[in-house]
Structure 1
Amino acid sequence: MSNPTKRIIIRNLIKSYRSGTQSVSVLKGIQLDVPDTFLTLMGPSGSGKSTFLNILSGIDKADSGEVWIGGKNLATFSEEELTNYRRNETGIIFQFFHLLPYLSALENVALPLYIAGIGKSKAREIAKNALEKVDLAHRFGHKPDELSGGEQQRVAIARALAKNPSIVLADEPTGNLDTYHAHKILELLLELQEKEKFSLFIVTHDREIGEKGKIRLKMKDGLILPQEDPALRV
């Protein structure tokens, strides 16, 4: 195995959900071995993309299989270890921002840091720095309804980066934005990745974004489709 700390390695990943009395198979034995870099994942609705991302982020657990990120097999983690992984090693960005409406931009970014046990003063300092990185120093005190969609997504990006994650996972991060702001958000993410050196994994329906990935993956019917890129071993 070539340096597993620099790769995302998935072995026979299976996930099903119960729907009434039926078991619905979502992920059907995914196999993947790719460099831990800028990856994009495309596929039709219902193909399993979000479920796959939730497992990579530690939000959900597979029924069986191996999930190696940073040289660690998430499939062997206890609930406490998964919680620590989510809090300390991953940044997660969603399509619909998930900002708390009664908190300011600064407080929204600082909240996960409070939860992780960082003191209020230090958390606010880290949050300010993260918001400055996404060009929102002038919006510290604004609540979500006082921000544009693009600005709200920048707050969400700052919240994801405040923990200094090793990997950032984004589920349709531009899906709720117009073309101009979607382009600006992607530019920002790539610029930040270059500076901060985190791995970036984007699930998207946007073909233009999908084709920008250094590793471009496609999913259909719960499986990653074989790729021709020699950097991949699927």
Structure 2
Amino acid sequence: MSNPTNKILIRNLTKSYINGKQNVPVLKGINLDVADTFLTLMGPSGSGKSTFLNILSGIDQADSGEVWIGGKNLSNFTEQELTEYRRNETGIIFQFFHLLPYLSALENVALPLYISGLGKSKAREIAKEALEKVDLTHRFKHKPDELSGGEQQRVAIARALAKRPSIVLADEPTGNLDTYHAHKILELLLELQEKEKFSLFIVTHDREIGEKGKVRLKMKDGLILPEQNPALDLV
């Protein structure tokens, strides 16, 4: 049996939302036991992928079930423990870059480090190192509207990695980029994952990206499909 600290272990995970007077189930009893190296998750819109990722990242909490990541049961965490988990152990990358328009690339990467309690000089030092890893040493002082889409996503990746997370969760990280820049961003993420040894979990509509995962998952109607199921129609 593999080491449970190197796994994502999910048991009977459920999540619903209230829409008016309706209770809408989104996750319907997910079970999963996989190595947490490089995972991809594909599925049609509305299948529950982003909700699932938000629970793994500690942004949202399930209604019931267990979520074990790195040997820790997130389901038993207090709100403060979830905050610490989000702040110290996870890096999150979104389709839309969520950079603050009035801050430079360096300041956007350093800001979460200030918030976590690091001093200004130390935070800027770590932010510079993170931007160097994504080949943006020449863009420290540039604001988002002075950067290309690919460069903005590199800043977002640097911001996620600056915390030295144990797991990076990416929700459609190439969805707002053209084919060339999408390919370059995926290459960069895989190169960094190999060097930095973090776990990487990518939610994507892009079949080419989805097929690159060491563990390839498919979701439909709030459930993870068994491996032997045929590929989903992702249109």
Range into which the TM-score falls when normalised by the shorter chain: over 0.9
User: Counterpart of 1:219?
Assistant: 219
C-alpha deviation, 1:227, in angstroms: 1.1
The TM-score with structure 1 as length reference comes to 0.97
Deviations, residues 7-26 of structure 1 (Å, cap 9, x unaligned): 00000000000001110000
User: Counterpart of 2:233?
Assistant: none
C-alpha deviation, 1:124, in angstroms: 0.1
CA distance in 1, matches of 2:21, 2:140: 49
User: Counterpart of 1:232?
Assistant: none
C-alpha deviation, 1:3, in angstroms: 1.6
User: Counterpart of 1:5?
Assistant: 5
- 5+ residue gaps, structure 1, are 230-234
- What is the letter of the counterpart of residue 227 of structure 1? E
- What is the letter of the counterpart of residue 137 of structure 1? T
Matches for 1:148-227 after TM superposition, within 5 Å: 148-227=148-227
C-alpha deviation, 1:143, in angstroms: 0.2
Matches for 1:23-172 after TM superposition, within 5 Å: 23-172=23-172
CA distance in 1, matches of 2:210, 2:216: 7
CA distance in 2, matches of 1:66, 1:190: 29
SS at match of 1:13: strand
CA distance in 1, matches of 2:65, 2:113: 31
CA distance in 1, matches of 2:2, 2:197: 20
Deviations, residues 136-195 of structure 1 (Å, cap 9, x unaligned): 000000000000000000000000000000000000000000000000000000000000
The TM-score with structure 2 as length reference comes to 0.96
CA distance in 2, matches of 1:64, 1:3: 25
CA distance in 1, matches of 2:114, 2:83: 15
C-alpha deviation, 1:4, in angstroms: 1.0
- What is the letter of the counterpart of residue 59 of structure 2? I
C-alpha deviation, 1:2, in angstroms: 3.5
SS at match of 1:208: helix
- What is the letter of the counterpart of residue 46 of structure 2? G
C-alpha deviation, 1:228, in angstroms: 4.1
CA distance in 2, matches of 1:75, 1:228: 29
Stretches of 4+ aligned residues off by more than 4 angstroms: none
- What is the letter of the counterpart of residue 22 of structure 1? Q
Deviations, residues 97-151 of structure 1 (Å, cap 9, x unaligned): 0000000000000000001001100000000000000000000000000000000
SS at match of 2:170: strand
- What is the letter of the counterpart of residue 54 of structure 2? N
- 5+ residue gaps, structure 2, are 230-235
